[in-house]
Structures are given as structure tokens and as C-alpha cells.
Amino acid sequence: MKTSRSLLLGVILALASCGAARAEHQRLVAISNGETVGHLDADVTATGATIDYGVTNNGRGAKSKEVIVFGAGGAPVRWSIDGTSLFGNAVHETFEWKAGTATWSGQADSGKVKAPKLLFYAAADAGPWMLGQYARALLKAPGHTLPVLPTGSMRLEEVKSLDVGQGDKKLHVTIYQLGGLDLNPTTVVLDDQGVLFQAEGLIREGYEAELRTLGRVTRDLAMEQAQAAQTKLAHRFTTPVLIRNVRVFDPASGKLSAPSQVDVFGDRIVGVTPLDTQPAPKGVTVIDGQGGTLVPGLHDMHHHLSLRSGLYLLAAGVTGIRDMGSSNDAMLTMNRLIDEGKLAGPRIVRNGFLEGRSPYSARGNGFIADTLPQALEDIRWFADHGYWQVKFYNSFPPDWVAPAAAEAHRLGMGVTGHVPAFTTPDRVLREGYDDIAHINQLMLGWILEPGEDTRTPLRLTGMARGATLDLKSPRVQATVKLMQEKGAKLDTTTVILERLMLSRSGTVQPGDAPYLSHMPIGYQRNRKRTFAVLEKPGDDAAYQAGFGKVLETMKMLDDNGIEMLPGTDDATGFTLQRELELYVKAGIPAAKTLRLATLDDEKYFKHDQQLGSIERGKLADFILVDGDPTADISKIRNVRMTMRGGVAYYPAEIYRYLDIAPFSPPPPVTAPTP
């Protein structure tokens, strides 16, 4: 009996202990363009948490399971993350703090440092749940700022408090901006108990309708900040401007001028003349180019603009983009405000994004059409709103391409895009494509077998098979001949293939090395991960050789007169500079590469009477580069000034504003003498 009573008491105590440590279950759902695309389930106790996270959108998405043990202030003393990254690569990341030492290991890097005090760890592959934990700790920290491991710091700023939900579901929440970890601040929303309510497209289940309200608040804040940045960073001149001691790159001839000076008044170039060493006339602002090169503004022919990316582009010397699909309303607003001079950003040629319905549909940009009549109506909407081209995506049904392209052409628009799944580059070119987006979308037509599904990450992983591709084969040459006949172009985005195919854990790629150490810690660690899936021996070599074939293909296309359009599908501007380096690495001369990125793009848009070269009467869109990029294309990274329509931006100022260490100083500017 005594034993039974002891056993009963033990059971009661165990049950009581379980009750005290009972986990609070938190569930958030991921929403994109109004559709559910993922989940986050968290079971949280006073001592730790387990997290199950997964998102699938556009045929890809990260998935992870996390186990966290809390220490003082809610910072993890142990943290494990296991799962797969965006493109399916295995993830295993760990962190531990013990006896004054912090140890971590993951795709990006591994390290061990003395840490007498427990600090938060900025994980490379975690889901969004820890953002709430960061925010709670920052609210208690002096100045709402905390150091993080491996290095750097994070900070929190309150944006707005508001009520959400109705009736017994009504909650009071506060919106914060979490900065310092990545390129852009992250929005984190907490309820009054400090529990995560919304972050990174996730929102507490049952409150999905509130995402629109929260999104509007954060968009309004981002717009306010972007307009303030333009006021701070744009340098406008009320006098004539004389840019002295420069050599001017002429994209038509591929040559640099003798030392020269360029006169600008308002938004126009009013003179390009030999260097005059006499004192500048009175009432003229003088910019000393110090022997640098003036290059027409660069173009990114595959971009998805955001409020923040406009600054990155201008800092990198990009004064014109082809936007390949963004939120329709947001794009029209940004385009208008940039044209009005209220936002910093490049000139925009808008393309409408049109996807078909499937389990792999890309959500968040443009339209998803369920029927061909709906697709045709969407095309008419783009035409009515001044879009230049329509872009078809992976799930667009192949049998819709011909009628949809015909409707776009009837309305005066061009057609571009991915090669939809289960069709071929040759077919879409015959049925109306004016250019193809991404070099892999072209090459997959020569590499994959019929029936293979490019709505999945295969559209990237399949490029490893390219190592043995014979570029002289009839299959390849038939496509090249068709492109010649049609005058079709190729938007390359080679830089993204380099990043995906050649990324290796713990290493910095050559394209990232010139700038990566200047960036926030979260971005640095992201760029040192493996994106390609390396499952078996030989995969690494296959990707290396496959990317080599990409460069060979670029040279073959150029030799055959196929015009390539340099683009990135990235937001930073640094990647456009790398894209041009890859053109040269492929064997295309630097001067021709610069022409492809400047004048030839304006000819494609039929804007070359106003833009694309530095000539009297043209719009003042150009960049000042330290060095000669025709001799060394990498000098294109040394941008000291970007002028867009006569308004000057100094990259050093932009980078400081973005919390990035500057690269090149601004040129000396002398105010006009009275």
C-alpha cells in the first residue's frame, strides 16, 4: 500500500510538472497574393520551443524544424535547425552557449568565440519565429539595440499600435521594424503579451484578413521613409553643372574620348567638349571627375523593383530597368513617384507578369489566370496601363501562348517570359516571344527530356546536365537560327545561375567578394550558403562544368549575332556589375558588354534618341567611374557619382544611409562663384 501511495504521489507530481511546463501552441499561416502557401507551428514553454515551418510558392520554398532551449533574456543557449533551404538543399545548423563560450555550425560558416555574456545568435537558416524573440529582447535593451553573434548588432523601432480583429477576437498589436541583420528592415508585429502575431508574410491563423491592414501600415511607413531618403540623398542643381577632367565612353564606337568636360543644365546634356583648363565661368557648379570615366547609365533588364532597391540600383550606376513583374498597384505608384522626383529610382520600362493556375503558380506579382479569356483580359489591362511587354511564367499553359501573344502584339506590346512547362523555346519563339527571360530557360530546351517539369527547382538543378551539351548539335543550332530569323533576344541573368550553381557552404563567390564584407551580417551569411542540391559524388563537378557551358553558350550566341540583355533578377545592384563581368569572362569584349548594357537596351526600347549615350541634347543619365572599365570591366564597380536626369546621387552617401560601408568617395564639387 505504501508503495502504491508513493507511486500515486509520483504520478500526481509528474502531472503537475507537465502542467506547469505545458506548451503554448502558436500557429501562423503564410499568405501570398491572398492565397495560403505555408505555415509556422510553434510549441513554446518557459524553457524552450519547437518550431515547424514550411512554405511552398513558385515551386520552391524553405522547410525547417527547430529546437530551442532558452537562456537568460530568452536568448537560445542551444538551437538546432534542420530541414531544406529555398531550393531543397539540406540544412543543419546548430548553436550552443556553454561556460562562456559560443559555438555555431551551419552552411554559412562555423565558429567558436569567448562570450562571457549570452548573446542572441543571428541564424542563417531559421524560420521567422525567432524574430519575435529578438523583438521582445530588444524592447528591454538600452536604446533598443543589442549585439549579435557571429558579429554585428540589431535594433528595433516602434512603428504603430492598433487594434485588429472583431468581437472576442479583437487584439491590440504593435508593429515594429527590426533592422541591422539584413539588407532591409523586417516588419515584426507583437500582441500585448509579446507573442508573435505577424512577420515575413506569416500571420496568426484566424486573422488572415488583417494582413491587408498591417500591410498598408508598413507600406505607408516604407513610402514615407523612401521619400525622406530621396530628399536627403538627391542633389539638385539650380545652376549649370560642369563635369571636368573626364574621359567619355562612346558605346557606339567602344572608345574613350580624350580628356573632356560635359555640361549639364536641368535634365539635359548641353555640351561635350575637350577639357578646358581655364577657370569655370561664374554661376556654374563644377564637379571634378579627377580623370575618371563617364559611362552612360547602366540597365538591369530583369529586375523586380521595390522601394528600397531603387537606392541600391542608383548606387551601382543603374539608371534604367526593365521591371519583369511586380505588384501591379505598387508598381504603378512607384513609377509615378519616381517620374515626379519624389522617390529615388531608375527609369522604368514596365512588363506585366501573367501566370497560369497550378499547384506551382508564382504568387505575389501580376495576375494568375484560370482561363484563356481571363488571360486575354489581363493582357488588355496591362495595355490600358501602359505596360511595354507581357511576361508569361512557368505555369502558363502552352496552348495559350499563341493567342495571348497575338493579343499582346495587337495592342502594341511585346512578349517575353519563361518557357512555360511542357513546351520548348522553339515553339514559344514561333508563337510570338520577342525575347526569352533567363539563359537557363533557353538552354533547358536543349538539355531536358520532353515531359520534365520546369515548374519545380528542376529549372535550375537541371542545368548541371549542361556539362555535356554539344553547342554545335542540330537541336541547338536550329534554335539559334530561329532566333536569328525572328530577331529574338535573350535576357541572360547569368549572375543568378552562378550564384545558384556555384554556391558552396562557407565560401564567398568571386562575384560577391568585392562587396560582401561591407554588408549586414545576415546578408553575408546568406551569401555563404549552398543553394544547389549536392546529393551524390560528382554533383559539384557537374554544376561547375554546367556553368562553364553557360558561359560558352553566351559566347556562341554573341558570335551568331543574338543580342543579349544583361539582367539580374536581384535587388542589390552589385549583381548587375557582376553580370557584366561574366559577359567579359564569357569572351565578350568589355566595350561591347558596356554597349549591351547601355545604348543597345535603349535601342530595344526605341528610346535611343534621348538616352543611351553621352551626347548634346540627350537626357543626363550617366555615371562617373574611377578607372577605365573598357580595359578592366571590374572598374564598373567603382561608381563615384550617378546622375539621373541631371540629379546627382553619390553612392557613398547612399551606402551610409543603408548601413553599408562605402566603396568609393564622391567627387569634389565646387559651388558656383558669385
pLDDT per residue as tens digits for the range 210-241: 988 998 998 999 999 999 999 999 999 999 99
pLDDT score of 58: 78
Q: What are the distances in angstroms from CA 218 to CA 158, 186, 265, 506?
A: 11, 10, 38, 34
pLDDT score of 322: 98
Domain ranges (residues) in the chain:
23-231, 237-296+612-674, 298-608
Show the cell assigned to 562. 543574338
Question: Is it true that the peptide bond before 150 is cis, omega within 30 degrees of 0?
Answer: yes
Cα separation, 330 vs 14, whole angstroms: 56
pLDDT score of 567: 97
- DSSP assignment letter at 116: S
Residues 6+ apart with CB under 8 A from 662: 518, 651, 652, 655, 656
Strand partners, 120: 148
Show the cell assigned to 356. 497560369
Q: What is the pLDDT of residues 52-80, one digit of tens each?
A: 999 988 777 889 999 999 998 899 999 99
- CB atoms inside a 10 Å sphere around CB 548: 14
Burial of 427 from C-beta contacts in 10 A (0-12 / 13-18 / 19+): middle
Output the furthest CA–CA distance in the chain (Å, rounded). 111
| Superfamily of the domain at 298-608 | Metal-dependent hydrolases (3.20.20.140)
Share of the chain above pLDDT 90, in %: 81
pLDDT score of 22: 66
For residue 528, give the amino acid letter: K
- When pLDDT is cut at 50, 70 and 90, the band that residue 282 belongs to is very high
In three-state secondary structure terms, 329 is: helix
Higher pLDDT: 4 or 286? It is 286
Show the cell assigned to 666. 564622391
pLDDT score of 278: 87
- CB atoms inside a 10 Å sphere around CB 290: 14
Cα separation, 71 vs 118, whole angstroms: 8
Helix-strand-coil percent breakdown of the chain, rounded to 5?
A: 35, 30, 35
**Average pLDDT estimate for 139-155:** 95
**Average pLDDT estimate for 367-385:** 98
Q: What is the pLDDT of residues 161-173, one digit of tens each?
A: 999 999 989 999 9
Cα separation, 305 vs 335, whole angstroms: 9
Name the nearest CA neighbour of 112 among 599, 137, 121, 212. 121
Higher pLDDT: 107 or 347? It is 347
Cα separation, 655 vs 659, whole angstroms: 6
**Average pLDDT estimate for 589-614:** 98
- Asked if 428 and 420 count as a contact pair (C-beta separation under 8 A), the reply is yes
- When pLDDT is cut at 50, 70 and 90, the band that residue 86 belongs to is confident
Query: What are the start-end ranges of the H helices in 533-642?
Result: 539-559, 574-585, 590-596, 599-605
In three-state secondary structure terms, 150 is: coil
> Mean pLDDT score of the chain, rounded to an integer?
93
pLDDT reading at 16 higher than 70: no
Show the cell assigned to 110. 562555423
CA 486 from centroid of its chain's CA atoms: 31
Burial of 342 from C-beta contacts in 10 A (0-12 / 13-18 / 19+): middle
- CB atoms inside a 10 Å sphere around CB 513: 12
Cα separation, 414 vs 425, whole angstroms: 16
Show the cell assigned to 16. 503537475
pLDDT score of 527: 87
Strand partners, 78: 69, 96
pLDDT reading at 20 higher than 80: no
- CB atoms inside a 10 Å sphere around CB 662: 16
pLDDT score of 534: 81
Higher pLDDT: 654 or 279? It is 654
- Asked if 620 and 295 count as a contact pair (C-beta separation under 8 A), the reply is no
- DSSP assignment letter at 314: H
Burial of 5 from C-beta contacts in 10 A (0-12 / 13-18 / 19+): exposed
- Asked if 182 and 522 count as a contact pair (C-beta separation under 8 A), the reply is yes
Range from 33-47, 346-360, 475-489, 634-648 carrying the lowest mean pLDDT: 33-47
- When pLDDT is cut at 50, 70 and 90, the band that residue 201 belongs to is confident
Residues 6+ apart with CB under 8 A from 505: 106, 107, 108, 528, 529, 530
Q: What is the pLDDT of residues 314-359, one digit of tens each?
A: 999 999 999 999 999 999 999 999 999 999 999 999 999 999 999 9
- When pLDDT is cut at 50, 70 and 90, the band that residue 648 belongs to is very high
Cα separation, 249 vs 629, whole angstroms: 9
Cα separation, 416 vs 407, whole angstroms: 13
**Average pLDDT estimate for 438-447:** 97
- DSSP assignment letter at 382: H
Cα separation, 633 vs 490, whole angstroms: 21
pLDDT reading at 529 higher than 80: yes
pLDDT reading at 429 higher than 50: yes
In three-state secondary structure terms, 652 is: helix
Show the cell assigned to 672. 558656383
pLDDT reading at 3 higher than 80: no
Query: What are the start-end ranges of the H helices in 92-128?
Result: none
| Superfamily of the domain at 237-296+612-674 | Urease, subunit C, domain 1 (2.30.40.10)
- Asked if 343 and 407 count as a contact pair (C-beta separation under 8 A), the reply is no
φ/ψ of 212, rounded to 5, equals: -65, -45
Q: What is the pLDDT of residues 549-594, one digit of tens each?
A: 999 999 999 999 999 999 999 989 999 999 999 999 999 999 999 9
Cα separation, 150 vs 115, whole angstroms: 10
**Average pLDDT estimate for 634-653:** 98
In three-state secondary structure terms, 555 is: helix
pLDDT score of 587: 98
- DSSP assignment letter at 609: T
